[in-house]
Structure 1
């Protein structure tokens, strides 16, 4: 059973995706991830994008902790329905419509977002079957949509290679948690000047 760890909706139980095909981020990994993100000071007022959202747990955690807008993108029908339920619960608690669910492919969503919309924080937790070329294509489409100082978090199997970062994006950290590795990237040159 997954839950929202902290913030306004902290302690709330999230609906989870029935069956297989998704791999939820464990509470241990989620706690470590959000502790790091809090130390960056990036969550309050952030625009957050959760690609391959599954149940939407990373996006709803972000909203609970002060993100201004969260877009949950999930193609599969059952997970998208769970995203809608979790988003509706958190929107009710927050008293606002901060969370939006988009049932579509990540690549399609990135191609049709309104001009000028950029994100401060992006989560990518693609299914393991998505190959490295597919992930690289999504990262390439995402790169021009990042705000200055944005953070991109890619969750992959520890057995997977480092993602291929497009021009305009560079890795600044990684951390393994058992079978899961989190890769952290930012717009290229973010620490310069």
Structure 2
């Protein structure tokens, strides 16, 4: 796992092999951040990273000076690993939370500028993520929800869907508030 931009650019992290994760590839992550840099100013956003795993995406946002990053994962090993890396790298804008993502979303009241979700590809509840985010009004005006999923999965039937980008086996579906 490598940080591709910002103040931690080039740093490599080696998460424990026993974590139940499938990190976003460097190619897909670089493409995602190229898209985002043309749409938002990362320096001024609050990020929610769901199913954060090793913290690959959270750390990338922290490296690029996002105001705050809330990282949610229910796996104790992932939670501990991300907290340890944040402490070692003196990242004070990252808050790791050990929780079930769906329970967290249903209880959360704070709004975010960007919500990124990278659930396990075999999770059958992936479409529920967008539904809950918009029903609970968790995005600020002009906020973006991005869900990473298998490229053959189609989330375009959600009314807030705006775009899908495919990178090999993976895809990012983008959602925004409709005026």
Report the TM-score, using the length of structure 2 for normalisation. Answer: 0.90
Corresponding residue for residue 100 of structure 1: 95
* Two-structure CA RMSD over aligned residues (Å): 1.7
Please give the residue correspondences for 1:75-154 in structure 2 after superposition, counting only pairs within 5 Å.
75-90=74-89, 92=90, 94=91, 97-113=92-108, 115=109, 117-131=110-124, 134-143=125-134, 144-154=137-147
The separation in 1 between residues aligned to 2:84 and 2:10, in whole angstroms, is: 16
Question: Do the aligned residues in 2 keep the contact of 1:171 with 1:185 (CA within 8 Å)?
Answer: yes
Question: Do the aligned residues in 2 keep the contact of 1:121 with 1:151 (CA within 8 Å)?
Answer: yes
> Which residues of structure 2 form unaligned runs of 5+?
none
Question: Do the aligned residues in 2 keep the contact of 1:24 with 1:55 (CA within 8 Å)?
Answer: yes
Q: 1:17 offset after TM fit, Å?
A: 4.5
The separation in 1 between residues aligned to 2:2 and 2:10, in whole angstroms, is: 6
Deviations 1:165-185 (A, max 9, x none): 3x6xx1221111110111111
The separation in 2 between residues aligned to 1:53 and 1:88, in whole angstroms, is: 17
188 and 82 in structure 1: CA distance in 2 versus 1, 3 angstrom threshold? same
Query: Which of residues 156, 168, 174 in structure 2 aligns to 1:178?
Result: 168
The separation in 1 between residues aligned to 2:32 and 2:93, in whole angstroms, is: 21
Deviations 1:98-123 (A, max 9, x none): 0000011111212333x4x2110111
Q: 1:45 offset after TM fit, Å?
A: 1.7
Question: Do the aligned residues in 1 keep the contact of 2:19 with 2:77 (CA within 8 Å)?
Answer: no
163 and 59 in structure 1: CA distance in 2 versus 1, 3 angstrom threshold? farther
Report the TM-score, using the length of structure 1 for normalisation. Answer: 0.84
Of residues 32-41 and 104-113 in structure 1, the stretch that sits farther from structure 2 once superposed is 104-113
Question: Do the aligned residues in 1 keep the contact of 2:46 with 2:67 (CA within 8 Å)?
Answer: yes
> Which residues of structure 1 form unaligned runs of 5+?
none
